[in-house]
Each structure stands twice: as structure tokens, then as C-alpha cells.
Structure 1
């Protein structure tokens, strides 16, 4: 009887060590460390805008649920400090878009609480001055998405009374908007866009209350859209391409690009999210990173400076947030 008990104990311990080993391996596979950085120095808010120029990030506008802001701030990674810059001269707004092109920032569209907007403004960081530019070429709207490819900006989707899927290019050299071919997916609002190299990517968002699972890339040289793997669960023993990206669909997320990888974090689906995912365009695959360390949130801003990504601001229920978090995507999370 004692021998049987000893054997059972040894078997239990062996299984326990095996389970611990598997858990450790699984934990080691998920990389990324989030670190709290200096709080945004303006009032807490959601639905703000952000863009980066050189080694600086610029964040502003948005709402606290009542007021629509025009203040504008610069973040410096090397000193971990915020500095207030010239106020945005247009009407205060939320759910606008922003991008950087040719060394300057551009901000436009959005909602002032009464009107949908289509005005566009240029920010010059060397002079700390704003200049009004040509109005957005499409209809007045909010909750659209934007990105820059090369020295041009791109804006699409959003809501103008109906969800949209049109796509527009802005050329800073001529101060002109040109409509480009629309992608092949559904209309949507709350989508995400980013560029990696000379290719733009548009994904996520919702249409008629349904989260969208398609991903599209845009080549400005050919003006062609290409569809990539849907964000679904895929199990096919015949093609050895098993994957589960079903946790990724969401709207109003943060995104940024580090080197040749794209990142999506937080946002909302059935509730606010804290997960973070890395996109490898060469393999068309997603890898989960360490969960965001702050509160789950929607309508945040996201940006990258060097080899770090940042998520700041946003809303968690009725609470507006002003914290800022930095991601080292390849660090081991102990």
C-alpha cells in the first residue's frame, strides 16, 4: 500500500512539474512589457488625435464628454515630458483624424457636438503655427481613419449620416485631395489604419453594429487593394494554416507601427479590451503580445517613437483617462 501511495505521489509531482513547464513555455512565448510613462498633461479625454514627426509625438483635441477641446501637446520620449504647443485654431472637436506628411502634421474632419466637419489644418512644428488648408475632399464626417504613405496622407471610412467606405489622398505639395479606389469591404466607422513601408493597411471597425473581420492593404503606386487573412478562427488540417484571430475584431482601437510590424491594442468589442496584437505583413500573421497594463479603454490614441509604442487617453465607461503607457514589444515579461 505504501509503495502504491509513493508511486501515486511521484506521478502527481511529475504531472505538476510538466504542467508548470508548459505554463512557463506558454508565458515565455508572449513577449512585450508595458511601462507607465508621464501622464498626459492636459485634461483627461477620449476621441483625441495624434501623429508623430521625427522624435516627437503630438496629441490634442478630443472631449471629456461635455467640452470639445482645442489644446495641443508635444511628447518627447527622451525626457518623458509633455509640453503645450499652440492651440488648434479650428472649432473644438472629437473623432477627428490626423496624419503626418512631409514634415508637418494635418488634422481635420470630426464632430463639434452639433456639426460634422470637413475642414483641414496643417501644423508646422518648427514654427509652432497652424495654417488652414484645403477642406477634406469627401463629405463632412467623423470617426473616420487616416494614415500617411510616403509624403502623402490618406483618409477614408467614417460616418456622415451614413457609414462610409470612400478613400481619399491628400498631396501637401499641391494642397489637393484626390479620390482613390475604395477597398472591397463593407462601409464602417471606428476603423484602424497604418502604413508599413510603402503599403497602407485598413482594418477593423463596425458596420451596422457588426464588427468587421477583413484586412486590406493599399499600394499607392498601382492604386490596388489586396485582401488578407480574415480575423476569424481557421482550422483546416488539409492546408496546415490553423490560426485563431477571432479575438482581434474591434472598433476604436489604438494602433502604431514599430520597424516593419503593425500593432493593435485596446478598443471595444462586447466590452473594452486590454489585449495587444502584432502584425507581420511578410507572413500575413498576427501574434499576441502582453496585455495592455492600464485599464481597458476605447477611443484612445496610439503612436510609436523609435522602437517603442504608446497608448494614451481614452474612455473606460464614463471615466475619461489621461495615463500614458509605453510598449517594448520584444522584451520578456517576467
Structure 2
């Protein structure tokens, strides 16, 4: 396994005698008043993938006692101020010590940051010069460990039920002798065991989610190959419930709409939400349907406001669902679809179920792609891999792995897995504090930061 070495480049951006307007600083309050401006210098002391330690030297506090000392930092602003991220370090300052160390945690790997100080006494206030530093990048595949294979390699596994302490995968794409399987992963022995046969058989792009302590699955398309070799897809509306305690399936109310495969779906408490469309590439909007597990009833919600998507990804972080990436076709004038204008999107949306409202969030930083694996763990969302375009006609498999923090609305790159070759549907799940991804080609890999 290759280990890549990254050199950290540090450089200073000097802002000669310039004070940037700041909402926390009174108008006309600058370092030239009364000749008593404080002065400090910043140097980079230590860097890691997720943090930085800066060494601060207080050269002068001017003619008065220091009253404010703040560290301002940003990913995008070369001259950060108090409208950016701020750490108040005044309490760390001791007049009889010229130096102090500033720790900046929760940073993103392989990312440039700008940082400078704001100092003030009763006479004046000013900013220091900016320092720029780069956090270290993931250097190899060491965050990943291959732990298992999937024994039934003739079947495709693209979705599953992720309970708190159990995971079940559904074989879906191709019909197999003896019926399509529901299999369970055993983390104690890193083995798979067959639990049941799927009552609805094979599907293209079915839904599988957990809500109210049970698994719900169905919908998708049935693929039929005609005599002339063409492929036809027939939308399915059936809906099934799986009880992991009894290992039994029960037919539930059909969704009252025509749906397409490869849709987005998620569960929140006792309800399931399905984001789909009545057709792959026509001008009809993406519909949102809510299924209530207690009443066994479907209801139509507001349409999804983003682009019409296929092969999007989703995860639910602490009850907050997010839908992101995928592919979309652009419409020509007159409402027709141009099949040659497939676009890979990096857009991300959050759904607020209580108000039936969608909110646009920061784009996925890894660029537009499809078929990403995605899973939530410990208040964060993890996603990566999939297929992304290099040119209009050339696609590559992605090997990068990212983390999303919903509290800061930020994506950060976490690692790579160069041994991951799969570009087909894959599974992902979280068990016992670890994230797992898997496919019939690459086996099952466990991730740990």
C-alpha cells in the first residue's frame, strides 16, 4: 500500500496598515488613533488533518491594558474578521507572558485556512497580518480495512435496512434461482447469513428504509428485455414491511402513484418519505410522498424543488434528512428532453418534515457524481465514491471519502480507498460505531477515523 507524502506550504499574506470594516468595531476606531495600537505576530506551530496549533507573540499592547484578543479564521476570506469564525482568546492572555498557543480544532483535511488576530486596548484596535496554513491531507488507505466478502456474487445488492444494531441487504437487480434474498451481516464474525426470500422478487432501483423499528421496501421497476433486445421498465407500486424479530414480511398499502426506480427515500421516526417521479425524463416535477407506518396510509407532500434526479444519495443525521448529487437531463425549448445533455449535479437539499419544506444546503465539495454510497454516524454524514465525469464522454470511478457536518453546513474530505473499484450499485451502513461499505466485486470494508 502506497503512502503519499504531502508537503505543507505556509506563506504569509501581508496587509500593510489596512483595517477592514467590522460590525463589532466602532466606526472610526483604528490603529492610528492616539498612537497606542497593540501589536502581535502569528506563526504556525503544528498541523494535523483536523487541527492546527498557532504560536502567538504579543509584541506590544500599546499605551493601555489589552481589552480584546480574538482569533478570526476562514476558508475563503484572505482577511478574516469577526464576521467569520472567531475564537475569543483574551482569557488565555497573561501580561507577563509574551507567547501563547492557539488551538483550532474541527478543521477539514487538505484545506487552506486564513487566520489573523484582532487586538484592542482602550485607545485603539487593529488586526495583525494574515497567516495562511494548509491542514494535512489523507495520505493513504489506512482508515479502511477489508473485513468480509459477499458470498452470493451472482446477485446485486444496492439497498438495505440499517437498524440500530443490525443490517440487512436486499438483492434486487437480477432474478436468481430460488428467489432474491434478504441477507444479514454479522459484525462479530464478519459473515453474511440468509434470512428470507424477498416477497416482491427482483427490481431496478427499489426502496428500502427503516421506520418505527421495522423495515419497509418495494416500488422500483421491473425490467423486461424484449425480443429485439431492447429494455422496457414497468413501474411497481407495491409496499412491504419486514419485522426483524419474527423474520416475516407483510404486504402494506400500495403507493397511490406511478413511481420510477433509482429514487431517494428515507425514514424519520414512524414515517417514510419517497422522492420520485412519474417518468424518468419528462417535464413533470419530482414528487414527495409520505407513508405513515401507524395508519398504513400514503399522503402527497410538496414537490421536490431541485432538479429532476436519478441515482441521488441520501442520509438522515439526527432526524434531519439530506438528498444530494445524482444526474439530471436538461430540457430543450418546448419541453423536450435532450438525452445528450446529462448533467452530474453536486446540489444538496435538506427536508424539514414538520413544515414540509426543502432547504438548499452547501454543495457536495467532491463535485457532481452519481451512485455514491452514503450513511450517517454520530451526528455526521459520510459519503463518497460513485461515478463522476472527466469530460462529456469519459467517466471515472471516484475513490474519495467525505464527511458532512450539519451544524456548520460543511463538507470535508476524510480519506481515499484506492482498492475500491466498484462503479455498480453498492451498500453502506453503520454498526457499532463504524461505517461499512460493500459490493459483490470489492467485498465489505470498514472505516474508522
Measured in 2, the distance between the counterparts of 1:145 and 1:89 equals 22
TM-score by length of 2: 0.60
Indicate the larger mover: 208-217 or 290-299: 290-299
Contact 2:263 2:312 in 1 (8 A): yes
Measured in 2, the distance between the counterparts of 1:53 and 1:47 equals 17
Measured in 1, the distance between the counterparts of 2:238 and 2:442 equals 27
Which ranges of structure 1 fall in alignment gaps of 5 or more residues? 1-18, 232-244, 314-319
Measured in 1, the distance between the counterparts of 2:171 and 2:263 equals 15
Measured in 1, the distance between the counterparts of 2:303 and 2:347 equals 14
- Cα RMSD over matched residues? 2.4
What is aligned with 2:296? 175
1:153 pairs with one of 248, 272, 288: 272
Measured in 2, the distance between the counterparts of 1:134 and 1:248 equals 38
Measured in 2, the distance between the counterparts of 1:287 and 1:138 equals 38
Indicate the larger mover: 222-231 or 183-192: 222-231
Matched, 1:133 2:252: yes
Matched, 1:272 2:394: no
Measured in 2, the distance between the counterparts of 1:70 and 1:159 equals 26
Higher relative contact order, structure no. (Cα contacts within 8 Å, ≥ 6 residues apart): 1
Contact 2:375 2:430 in 1 (8 A): yes
Note closer, same or farther for the CA distance 1:158–1:51 as it changes in structure 2 (3 Å cut).
farther
Note closer, same or farther for the CA distance 1:327–1:137 as it changes in structure 2 (3 Å cut).
farther
- Point out 4+ residue stretches in structure 1 off by more than 4 angstroms: 23-29, 66-69
What is aligned with 1:96? 206
Q: Deviations over 1:259-312 (max 9, x none)?
A: 111111211122222111110111111011111342242321111113211111
Matched, 1:108 2:218: yes
Contact 2:258 2:278 in 1 (8 A): no
Contact 2:288 2:302 in 1 (8 A): yes
Matched, 1:304 2:430: yes
In the TM superposition, 1:1-334 aligns within 5 A as 21-22=7-8, 28-30=136-138, 33-46=143-156, 48-63=158-173, 70-114=180-224, 115-157=234-276, 160-162=279-281, 165-208=286-329, 209-231=342-364, 245=365, 247-270=366-389, 271-292=396-417, 293-313=419-439, 321=441, 323-328=443-448, 330=449
Note closer, same or farther for the CA distance 1:77–1:47 as it changes in structure 2 (3 Å cut).
closer
**Greater C-alpha Rg:** 2
TM-score by length of 1: 0.80
Q: CA deviation at 1:152?
A: 1.2
What is aligned with 2:68? none
Note closer, same or farther for the CA distance 1:249–1:21 as it changes in structure 2 (3 Å cut).
closer
Contact 2:258 2:277 in 1 (8 A): no
Note closer, same or farther for the CA distance 1:218–1:181 as it changes in structure 2 (3 Å cut).
same
Q: Deviations over 1:159-186 (max 9, x none)?
A: 6343651111111101111111123211
Note closer, same or farther for the CA distance 1:103–1:20 as it changes in structure 2 (3 Å cut).
closer
Q: CA deviation at 1:48?
A: 2.5
Measured in 2, the distance between the counterparts of 1:160 and 1:122 equals 25
Structure whose residues are more often helix by fraction:
1
Q: CA deviation at 1:62?
A: 2.4
Q: CA deviation at 1:139?
A: 1.3
How many residues are treated as equivalent by the alignment?
290
Measured in 1, the distance between the counterparts of 2:163 and 2:170 equals 14
Contact 2:218 2:238 in 1 (8 A): yes
Contact 2:436 2:447 in 1 (8 A): yes
Measured in 2, the distance between the counterparts of 1:306 and 1:148 equals 20
Q: Deviations over 1:301-326 (max 9, x none)?
A: 1111132111111xxxxxx6261111
Which ranges of structure 2 fall in alignment gaps of 5 or more residues? 10-46, 49-109, 111-134, 225-233, 330-341, 390-395
Note closer, same or farther for the CA distance 1:305–1:138 as it changes in structure 2 (3 Å cut).
farther
Contact 2:387 2:397 in 1 (8 A): yes
SS in 2 for 1:50: strand
Q: CA deviation at 1:42?
A: 2.0
